Amino acid sequence: MLENKTVILGVSGGIAVYKAVELLRLLTKAGATVHVVMSKNAQEFVTPLTFQTLSGNPVHTELFNLYQEQEIGHISLADRADLFILAPATANLIGKIANGLADDLLSTSVMATKAPVLVVPAMNSNMYENPLYQQNEKKLAEAGYQVMEPATGELACGWLGKGKLPEPELIFAAADAMLTAKDLSGCRVLVTAGPTREELDPIRYLTNYSSGKMGYAVAAAAAARGASVTLVSGPTSLQTPYGVEVVPVRSAEQMRAAVLECFAESDVVIKAAAVADYRPARRGENKIKKTADEMTIELEKNPDILSELGTRKQEQVLVGFAAETESLLVHATEKLQKKGLDMIVANDVTAEGAGFDVDTNLVRFLFADGKVEELDLMRKEQVANRLLDQVAELWQAKRQ
């Protein structure tokens, strides 16, 4: 939870500095106050003015600057941080911290802070693999710094390998998780998301408008709250959320198999997927040819995965979604009871800002004991956290 938190973003010199600009934007958008500290080399890649404009705060660059000292001072800067992020963190910066060196404002501030520190390395893959670097990184991890694993891909120097700065969204999620209370620690959560695709032939399928955003937001938020999360996902264009294991599937049948495999080991199941109710009764082995003027497609019913879980459940908390276009409460209540759920998230997908493929949602929570909670229109990430507040309570109650 980065809202109203003070974050120091320490930027050291590497080509990935431009990605720190995007990270800063995500942090401020989430409501954090961000102070940027740049090393001398970092300023060769992007000017302090860019960070200053986007953070709305002066950028700190000098250890001995009379004006900056008077304004804030490197110790008070380190003191007031809720979180310190080093992105990109070069081999040089990591080497300095690991060996207790503090010879500029950035290394001094990191040394002086008592706040949690997220270190996001970025460097050439040979440098990354160098045993001396690896020792330094290990020292940081052992001292309690959280070190992110770099991404693999094409590096700025043209090499292909490990050492890239992870995408800003992933760094943001890791930072957010560091400031989030771990009320789901020890809880194994299974989430389903996205649409299913029901094939007609090798090149055509039936599907729906689900983007997967709601389910992905639930999986990401659950991971940030300490749960171990498996996300069984239909086809979407979304990035794997930080700390989540994704099992990709296409059809309802595949989703059923993946869900049943994990079910016994799950404490909570949240079924946000928009599973197709029907599938073509026959799948053409080859492309169906255009011959007759009319064509009829015969459909057969897909298995209702959630209902099946309802009959099999032991101690699991079972949460379903009901996307409706009319008589919302009637349909949602019926599903809650018929499918044996502990809770259902009801949303009228015709309402402005709600439903498929938008970033917000307007929902109500209905519970097995008849309780109803109505939420305002809010971002899907917020809906996810409100949902998990309820799930955490239901899970705790079942454990006692």
- Tell me which residues touch ligand C5P (CB under 6 A): 192, 252, 271, 273, 275, 277, 302, 304-306, 320-322, 335
Q: Are 151 and 166 in contact (CB under 8 A)?
A: yes
What phi and psi, each to the nearest 5 degrees, are found at residue 117? -120, 130
CB of 192 or CB of 230, closer to ligand C5P: 192
Q: Is 343 exposed, middle or buried (0-12, 13-18, 19+ CB in 10 A)?
A: buried
| Least distance (Å) between residue 295 CB and ligand C5P | 25
For the chain, the straight-line distance linking the first and the last C-alpha, in angstroms and rounded, comes to: 28
Distance (Å, whole) CA 137 – CA 320: 43
Helices and strands (H, E) in the chain, number of each type: 14, 21
218-235 CB burial, b ≥16 within 10 A, e <16: bbbbbbbbbbbbbbbbbe
| Least distance (Å) between residue 275 CB and ligand C5P | 4
| Least distance (Å) between residue 322 CB and ligand C5P | 5
Distance (Å, whole) CA 325 – CA 229: 30
| Least distance (Å) between residue 259 CB and ligand C5P | 8
- What amino acid positions are annotated as catalytic residues? 157
CB of 92 or CB of 192, closer to ligand C5P: 192
CB of 302 or CB of 361, closer to ligand C5P: 302
Distance (Å, whole) CA 395 – CA 105: 46
- In whole angstroms, how far apart are CA 131 and each of 86, 91, 97, 150, 215? 21, 12, 16, 16, 40
CA 341 to chain centre: 26
Rounded to 5, what percent of the chain is helix, strand, coil? 35, 25, 40
CB of 90 or CB of 347, closer to ligand C5P: 347
| Least distance (Å) between residue 194 CB and ligand C5P | 10
CB of 124 or CB of 233, closer to ligand C5P: 233
Question: Is the Cα dihedral 48, 50, 51, 54 positive or negative?
Answer: positive
Distance (Å, whole) CA 375 – CA 331: 18
| Least distance (Å) between residue 312 CB and ligand C5P | 13
CB of 57 or CB of 207, closer to ligand C5P: 207
